[in-house]
Structure 1
């Protein structure tokens, strides 16, 4: 403001030095200089507004002066008052209609009962001034930077109207006070919606869950409004209150048990039912929430949107803070919808956590199920689940193990296991090659009939490979419309089993090994019975009966020795000798089969050489044996290998009609013994090998010795069986 402007403002209005304290003989009124100096010296937070109101009261010879500041919500907040009016007017209050459109320099002057524009004072404000004894008023809008920032109310309780000089002073005074109010007015601050958006933006700047973001917003709100405590209460459908998050000092933490009391529940329910903010006074029950008495407690209900959870935001101050309460009244309504959105995200997170926990429990249960059960149980579970689909007649699990396909079916509540030997023409190849789900119609049913234990003219087969292993889930239905639901079912179950399919294969391997052990046990029992029968037959039927017959013939020859020629007697004795020799040979063979003497004295190689010679004599075979051991194995290893060769030759090779047999025996540098038995029999595949009598017993025997057994076909069409056994291993 230039000196020329000051002179123009003060022409005809200059006062003497005595009119203002500390002011010299300047022509500028003391109050103009004082207000200008105050605006230069003091910051927005250091202005003495009570002194500004008192000077204004003195300048205009008024009994009441009130300075109002306009907020961003177009409300008037009392900044200061001076004079005789002791009653504090209500604040904040709405601005009169059209007040924010008044131009600078406009005044409303006149008796209170006279016609005053509604743009300056509302009817309620006039009634309040009348109660204070006001007779004449002067109302001026305050402007700063071309924007309305407040209002100056000047009132006289005596019957003295405002003069033209008073009006001129009021215009200057309103301009100067407007500049001061403009420095602290909320017009220059962000709008409440912008402040709310800023709080949410700052809370979302850091990663975290929705509950953590909500806690950060509540914490920022607490510091923004200078509250002692902020609580976010959620009203649950079961008529109880949950403390969702809180921001307060440790000594002000609310009592969780108090939130379950009937008085607190009644308070929260009342706020929700009323649907508007409430002030909880002392004695209303709010003192039960906090460990100390709060000077002020405000409760704001969240808006109701759809089926979202109801909530109440509670703010409390240990000491009264009108500025903080004013900020809360402005900020919380803008923030409430955002808080409600976050509560919705919190509920989604809680449901996700609950679902995750449920999935984890199901996974633990499934893991335990797979560890303690096997594919048959999975097939039964698939069958149970498939009962909800009409037309399903069978459900099963396909797994590949030991170079063969094993089907675990459940048909009409009855589990069945099918081991497939023909891999080349198996429909399992179709089931494993189609991803993620395949449906085979009646045109392929002829292929599937070989593995599905059902008698149907036509059917649809739905398969879903397990992915990580060679296996698949299978559902058979005789209704085409059920295939879509069956596809969804097997897809869901595959998603649960896919990561654990290795456990199924492991269990399958254990089951197959158990099946082999059971077959080996059966083979061992059969072999024992046959050897016992052969031994009894050799000793009793052949040897003993032959000895008895020879003894009878010797006695008969003795009686007739005097009655026949000597030559006839010699012939009969020679026949008896030959019979006895044959019986001795049979007995020797029977004993050799059980335990040859060469095995005890000369070792495994000598025993196998003798055995090869016996095979040539007894079965007219072309036997080629070659072998030697540079270190003799343990006794039980020798006995086991000799018995293993007999088992392989007599139980698995001779019944096939072999004519040529090759036996090789050697020893590696580490002492491991390698035994190979080859012949000219046709190789029919591993599945056919496992079906041979004695094959399971041979595999299990080798396993107990700590060795390995491999069977394969030879290029010329024969079969080779190779065994490796460590030099020493305890049974």
Structure 2
């Protein structure tokens, strides 16, 4: 609503122009007189008194403060009546200065002109170039003249059945504000008299548009001043909640209402979230929080997503635009919903104003004031939202970096979980926190958890099932639930006795690369507590946690290997010293004594030969000396062979192994089968490695005890030497690189064997039957001295071809070298 200052002046001006230009200069005769004189048919016009009376009626309405739409509609209706036309359209220029929009339309009902209000059309160059105070006459049957109109207007006038069109541009102070279109359906062209008669109506319409624009500028300035004052009262930088709370308190005072609510749009949840309220009792605030305010349930909010104009609901109880439960709970009588939109026209939120008093409503001035205020508030709110997002992102990154640094310093899962518990509590609601890590067999989860801010001591082992952690580990996907239902298909908490039921849950996988090793879960009693920000934050934390857990495991592995290798090295040194002592003792106590005895006995043999009567005794001495020397030679050969067999250098791996297993079987009364198939001689280094591996494997079997039959199989395929050894001895458990080094000799020999294989770049697997017996498969890289024929089978085929896989062994198969 507005009260134009120049209304009376415009009325006087129009009266003067009508009396001088229209009535006096162009006296209107009857239609019969025009026909009789041969003039073109023209509609009969009003009398001078009737014309002036119509102009004064329009001027009074213009000065009465009626709404712009009513005034423009009155002008259009007057134009149709005075000029004997069928349709009148009033267009106004949009703020973009490029398009017109129909602001008022009138005409017979059968022409359906009411649907034209709000239609758009581009401003043609001919209209822009038209001087003020002049009108255009268009013969709509003239295709050449019709082509000057925009395509939409040509189609619309054709749809109305128009024959003649009179266009009067609306100017004020040299500025184009709109235009007045008058249409006749009959073939009765607009003459100069009609054009002059339309000019005062155009002046009234221009004045109305100009005064409305001025009033909008004043209202906008007032709203801007209010927003500026609000901005000065709010401490900067402020978050969206603080700003909206100040906004609703301002709206209560100006433009005024009983209660005001501010709601932010949550795109992730697809609903408006109550953020601030003024004038509402505390118990009603709690009721408001329980109501879901999604566009699907609140039609008024759905309109706000697609419209930028305030929506006034005069009778909230009878309207379907607001839920009846909300209206009754809050006691609404009248309501106004004002959209808050960003620079890109995206929805930021809404302001909901209501009147709780019977008969109270909202005036046009209040609607216009809220529309202007909303434009400035939206900019202020959008800046606050962007600042909040930047601040939150910065804080999240800082927390993630701090967590990553802290986690990198930890070497066990328990300390890591406690650190996560402390850090996550500062950035998101984690009333319940749980971390589940897969066990080595990947059949269960070791779960650590906290409730109500306290870490629960101990670990709970949970078999993989349908609990949230198991579901996330199995799928590798993020699971987000915002509202708990009684018929929830999955359990929400692993262990939470006497705790309030959780309503929001977020579970993310803990992965290293593509390998999921566990899951991290947070829960809270609040509904819809987690969104995209929390998902991104917890996913980043889970990523760093996965890396920290893997590093901790690798650290323990390296540490255990270092401890194990220290034990093995110490044992090797002790064994070397023992072997040296045994060699010295053997040579000193046995070989040297025998040789000394042989020298003594040779002396006696020499003395006996000198006495011819003692030949037989000398011969016995010589035979005994020979046997003793032969025995020592054999023993020295064995000793030398155990240090490094000469056969290995002269004849190669296969003869040396046959000599080894033959001696092993004879000395220990064990049946040993040897099956060697090599394409040629290996390099000296690889032959020695393969020989020592078989030698130490046999030593381990002897140390373990109980074996009566062994089968040794050696193959080379695809550049890999595969050694498979079967035995029927005792094996109470499979050894692993992770086992602590035991003091018994069997474990030491096996660990030494593993170390030798790994140092050679090989790999070792150990399996055992439940009833006894074991299988060792060792693969080491090898190279033949002469390139052998290609064999497409891999060394690993021996494991499957021999039928000693996991299923046949019926026991445990372990990777002894990982």
TM-score, length of structure 2 as denominator length: 0.41
Greater Rg by CA? 1
